[in-house]
């Protein structure tokens, strides 16, 4: 079966995003989110690998009235696997995690990740108590992911199998302090 195009998946998840708060994991997921359009409600990571889900959890707990989406990669998710257990213990209803799984470390030479050897991240998330945890392989299922992110009962986890393409870099801003300020100002008003 042909894997999905990561840019198209992210673009369809982030179009008409309204008040959706997004944390983008380092590397290709951050570029994918940037390609979908820079936005003050996107906080892209350039480092701190393994932290994306936990940033999403802190944000979801602080903003229970908003929907929060973490978009990250399989390598980043594997480094923070314990965070799935931590999220499972909290069960925030407003948090969704989308892992763009190309089964590769895309930024470092396309080495295989553990998902290439069979690690089933969705099964891990399910075992940790996520309300929904699915592997997504077909374009027709992307609308399920979208409705889950915006309306589903969380925490939700979608492991989206994507092609291992090296796509053109579309870089988000990289000044972390500025990214933080603009996010908070857009969300909370002038501080």
Partner 1 sequence: MRGRTSKTRPVEVIDWPAAIHSALKSQRVRQVSYVPDAGHKRLIELCHADQSMTVVPLTTEEEGIGLAAGAWLGGERAALLMQSSGVGNCANALTLAATCAFPLLMLVTMRGEAGERNPWQVPMGQATPEALRLSGVRTLRLGRAEEASAVANSAAKVAFEEQSAVALLISQQLIGVKSFEEKR
Task: Report whether 125 contacts 150 (CB < 8 A).
Answer: no
Cβ neighbours around 139 below 10 Å, total = 13
Q: How far is the CB of 51 from partner 1 (least distance, A)?
A: 4
Cβ proximity to partner 1, 58 vs 114, nearer residue: 58
Cβ proximity to partner 1, 92 vs 134, nearer residue: 92
Residue showing tokens 């857009």: 186
Cβ proximity to partner 1, 38 vs 144, nearer residue: 38
Cβ proximity to partner 1, 44 vs 106, nearer residue: 44
Q: In whole angstroms, what is the distance from residue 36 CA to residue 29 CA?
A: 11
Q: How far is the CB of 132 from partner 1 (least distance, A)?
A: 21
Q: In whole angstroms, what is the distance from residue 102 CA to residue 159 CA?
A: 10
The residues binding partner 1 (CB under 8 A) are 21, 23, 43, 46-63, 80, 82-83, 85-86, 89-90, 176-177, 179-180, 183-184, 187-188
Cβ proximity to partner 1, 129 vs 176, nearer residue: 176
Residue showing tokens 């908003």: 66
Q: How far is the CB of 149 from partner 1 (least distance, A)?
A: 17
**Per-residue tokens: 34:** 């940037």
Task: Report whether 98 contacts 161 (CB < 8 A).
Answer: no
HSE-up (13 A, CA, CB side) for residue 145: 27
Q: How far is the CB of 140 from partner 1 (least distance, A)?
A: 32
Q: How far is the CB of 142 from partner 1 (least distance, A)?
A: 26
Distance of CA 117 to the CA centre of its chain: 22
């Amino acid at each position: 079966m042909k894997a999905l195009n990561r840019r198209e998946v992210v673009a369809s998840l982030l179009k008409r995003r309204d008040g959706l708060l997004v944390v983008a994991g380092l590397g290709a997921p951050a570029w994918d989110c940037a390609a979908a359009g820079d936005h003050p409600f996107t906080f892209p990571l350039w480092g701190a690998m393994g932290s994306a889900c936990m940033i999403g959890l802190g944000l979801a707990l602080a903003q229970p009235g908003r929907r929060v989406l973490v978009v990250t990669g399989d390598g980043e998710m594997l480094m923070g696997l314990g965070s799935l257990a931590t999220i499972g213990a909290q069960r925030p209803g407003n948090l969704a995690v989308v892992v763009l799984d190309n089964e590769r470390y895309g930024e470092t030479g396309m080495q295989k990740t553990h998902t290439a050897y069979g690690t089933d991240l969705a099964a891990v998330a399910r075992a940790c108590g996520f309300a929904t945890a699915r592997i997504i392989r077909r374009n027709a299922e992307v609308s399920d992911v979208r409705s889950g992110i915006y309306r589903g009962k969380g925490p939700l986890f979608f492991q989206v199998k994507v092609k291992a393409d090296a796509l053109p870099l579309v870089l988000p801003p990289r000044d972390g302090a500025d990214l933080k300020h603009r996010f908070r100002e857009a969300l909370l008003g002038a501080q």
